[in-house]
Amino acid sequence: MIARWHWLATRIAKRLWFRATLFSLLGVVTALLAVVFKDAVPATLPARIGADAVDKILGIIASSMLAVTTFSLSTMVSAYSAASSGVTPRATSLVMEDATTQNALATFIGSFLFSLVGIIALSTGAYGTQGRVLLFTVTIAVVILIIYTLLRWIDHLSKLGRVGETIDRVERAVIKAIQQRVEHPHLGGAAYPDSFVLPESTHALRSSETGYVQHIDVLSLGKIATDAKVRIYVEVLPGAFVHEGMVLARVLALNGEPADVDDALDLEIIAALTIGLRRTFEHDPRFGLSVLSEIASRALSPAVNDPGTAIDIIGRGIRSLTCWGRLQAVTQSQASECAQVHVRTLRVDDLFDDFFAPISRDGAALQEVNVRLIKALTCLAQINPRVFQSSSSRHAKRLLEHADSGLLIQQDKDALRALAVELIGVH
C-alpha cells in the first residue's frame, strides 16, 4: 500500500535523467565550493603540494569523460535493443531502470561538468592560489570516483542486456510485486468478495480515459471515504485495461442507502486511480508473470527454438508463485483508515492462466517442456495444496489436451499421461 506521491517519486527516481541531473548539480556545486572556502587554506600550502597541476588534470577529465559518456550511451542503447529483441520489449523498462548503468552515466556527466566549471573558473581567476588547493583536493577525489565507477561499469557491461541477466531482473520484479500483494492482498483496504453484489442504486464512477490502471492510492480513497461518510468499492486492480465509460468504482452510503455524491467527490475518487499507456511491474504481479511467460513462448518459437530457456522460465515461475502460497490473513494487512475502501484480491486461477497457459500451448510439441510443466504444477500443489491444488489440476488437464494435439508419437503421450497420474493424480 503506497501513496500516490510516493509511487510517483519512486518512478521519477528510476529515470535516467534524474540521477544524471543530481550528479551534474553536485559536480557544479563542488567545483564552486573552492571559491567560497578558499580563504580557509593557509597561504603557504599551495607551493607545498603543487596545486598548479589541477589545470592539466581538469583538461584530461573534461575530454575523456565526454568520450566515455558517448561510448556508454551507445552501449546502453545496444543493450536495450538486445533485451527487446532477445527477450521481450516488455522487459526493456527494467533494463532502463538499472541502477549501476544510471550511476555510471551520472558520474561521467557530473565529472565532465565539474571539470568544465573548474576550467572556466580557473580561467577567470576566481579561485586564486589558495582556492586551487581545494580544487586540487576535490579533483583527486573525483578521479578516484571515476576509476571506481569505470571498473564497476566494465564488469557490468559483460551482463547488461544479456538474456539471462534480463530474465533475472524480470523475476526479481515479479517476486517483489507478489510479496507486496501478499502483504497487502487488498492494497491495504477491506475485502471485496467476488460474490458480493451491490444494489443497483449504487453510484458508479466511470473512466474518462482509455489505458491501464497503474496505481490505486487506497490511502487517499480511505480519507475521502471517511470524510464523505461513504463506502468505496473499487472495481479494478492495477494492470486492468479500462476504457472510456467503464466503471472504476462504486460508492454507497454507510447505511447501505444510495450515496449523495457530487461531481467534486467523483473527481477526487477518480484522481486516486492512475491510468497510463502501459502496464508496470510495481503493483501488477500478473504483468510480471505474463512477461515471464512471453519470454518462454518466444524461446519456444520456431525462429528461436530454445526450449532450455523455457524450462528455466518454468523454474522461475515456481519460485515466484511460491511467494503467493504464503498469503497471509487479510485482517493482518488492512489499514484502519482504509476500512471503508473495498478492493478485490487477485485470483490464483488468473495467476496460473497468465503464466502456464501460453507455455503449455506453445510447448505442446516438446516432450521435455511438457514434462517440466507437469512437475512444476506438482511442485506448487505440494507446496500449498489448499491454495494451488485446484489450479494445478485444471492446468494439468489442459496441458494433456495440448500435448495430445502437439505430440506426434503415442508413446510420448502415454508417458506424459502416466506421469500426470503419478504426480498430480490427473487423468
Nearest to 342 by CA among 426, 225, 212: 225
Domain encompassing residue 113:
4-161
Q: pLDDT at position 44, please?
A: 58
Q: Is the pLDDT of residue 84 over 60?
A: yes
Q: Is the pLDDT of residue 16 over 80?
A: no
Q: Which of 111-115, 318-322, 355-359 bottoms out in mean pLDDT, i.e. has the lowest?
A: 111-115
Nearest to 110 by CA among 212, 29, 50, 191: 29
Strand order in the sheet with 241-242: 241-242, 211-216, 273-276
Of 246, 276, 306, the last residue of a domain is 276
**Do 246 and 290 fall into the same domain?**
no
Q: Is the pLDDT of residue 329 over 50?
A: no
116, 62 contact by CB (below 8 A):
yes
Q: pLDDT at position 203, please?
A: 85
Higher pLDDT, 80 or 287: 287
Each residue of 197-229: b (16+ CB within 10 Å) or e? ebeeebbbbebebebbbbbbbbbbbbbbbeebe
Give residue 400's identity as a one-letter amino acid code.
L
Which residues does 281 contact at the CB level (< 8 Å), separation at least 6?
93, 94, 170, 173, 174, 176, 177, 287, 288, 291
Question: pLDDT tier at 327 (50, 70, 90 boundaries)?
Answer: low
Average pLDDT value for residue range 290-308: 92
Question: pLDDT tier at 83 (50, 70, 90 boundaries)?
Answer: confident
Tell me if 132 is assigned to some domain.
yes
- Fill in the DSSP letter of residue 359: H
Question: pLDDT tier at 421 (50, 70, 90 boundaries)?
Answer: confident
Tell me if 68 is assigned to some domain.
yes
Cell of 287: 504483468
**Do 291 and 254 fall into the same domain?**
no
Q: pLDDT at position 315, please?
A: 95
Average pLDDT value for residue range 23-39: 73
pLDDT, one tens digit per residue, over 168-190 is 999 999 999 999 898 888 888 88
Average pLDDT value for residue range 150-176: 87
Q: pLDDT at position 43, please?
A: 59
Which residue is listed with cell 503415442? 410
**Cα separation, 336 vs 309, whole angstroms:** 45
Average pLDDT, the chain: 84
Q: Is the pLDDT of residue 23 over 70?
A: yes
**Cα separation, 278 vs 214, whole angstroms:** 8
Own/partner long-range contacts of 396-400 (Cβ < 8 Å, ≥24 apart): 396/420, 396/424, 396/426, 397/426, 398/357, 398/360, 399/356, 399/360, 399/364, 399/370, 399/373, 399/374, 400/426
Average pLDDT value for residue range 299-326: 92
Q: pLDDT at position 175, please?
A: 94
User: What Cα–Cα distance (Å) separates residue 179 from each residue in 72, 295, 390?
Assistant: 34, 22, 22
**Do 39 and 63 fall into the same domain?**
yes
**Do 318 and 236 fall into the same domain?**
no
Q: Which of 35-49, 73-87, 147-161 bottoms out in mean pLDDT, i.e. has the lowest?
A: 35-49
> Phi first, then psi: what are they for 175, rounded to 5°?
-65, -40
Q: Is the pLDDT of residue 242 over 70?
A: yes
Average pLDDT value for residue range 90-103: 84
Cell of 193: 468478495
Q: pLDDT at position 39, please?
A: 63
Tell me if 339 is assigned to some domain.
no
User: What Cα–Cα distance (Å) separates residue 111 from each residue in 73, 147, 311, 404?
Assistant: 16, 11, 45, 62
Q: Which of 37-41, 233-237, 421-425 bottoms out in mean pLDDT, i.e. has the lowest?
A: 37-41
Cell of 407: 505430440
**Cα separation, 234 vs 251, whole angstroms:** 9
User: What Cα–Cα distance (Å) separates residue 344 from each residue in 132, 192, 194, 266?
Assistant: 64, 5, 7, 20
DSSP string, 276-331: ESS--STT-HHHHHHHHHHHHHHHHSTTT--HHHHHHHHHHHHHHHHHHTTPPPGG
Q: pLDDT at position 355, please?
A: 96
Tell me if 171 is assigned to some domain.
no
Q: Which of 111-125, 212-226, 242-256, 298-312 bottoms out in mean pLDDT, i.e. has the lowest?
A: 111-125
**Do 144 and 12 fall into the same domain?**
yes
Tell me if 245 is assigned to some domain.
yes
Question: How many domains does the chain divide into?
Answer: 3
Tell me if 172 is assigned to some domain.
no
**Do 150 and 21 fall into the same domain?**
yes
**Do 272 and 291 fall into the same domain?**
no
Question: Which CATH number fits the domain that encloses residue 196?
Answer: 3.90.1170.30
**Do 128 and 197 fall into the same domain?**
no
Of 238, 255, 276, the last residue of a domain is 276
Q: Is the pLDDT of residue 46 over 80?
A: no
Question: pLDDT tier at 51 (50, 70, 90 boundaries)?
Answer: low
Tell me if 257 is assigned to some domain.
yes
**Do 154 and 236 fall into the same domain?**
no
Give residue 325's identity as a one-letter amino acid code.
G
Which residue is listed with cell 521435455? 368
Proportion of the chain above pLDDT 90, given as a percent? 35
Tell me if 351 is assigned to some domain.
yes
Taking residue 404's Cβ as centre, other Cβ atoms within 10 Å add up to 13
Q: pLDDT at position 331, please?
A: 41
Q: pLDDT at position 42, please?
A: 61
**Do 8 and 147 fall into the same domain?**
yes
Of 114, 143, 161, the last residue of a domain is 161
**Do 207 and 157 fall into the same domain?**
no
Q: Which of 10-24, 265-279, 341-355, 358-372 bottoms out in mean pLDDT, i.e. has the lowest?
A: 10-24
Q: pLDDT at position 378, please?
A: 92
**Do 263 and 245 fall into the same domain?**
yes
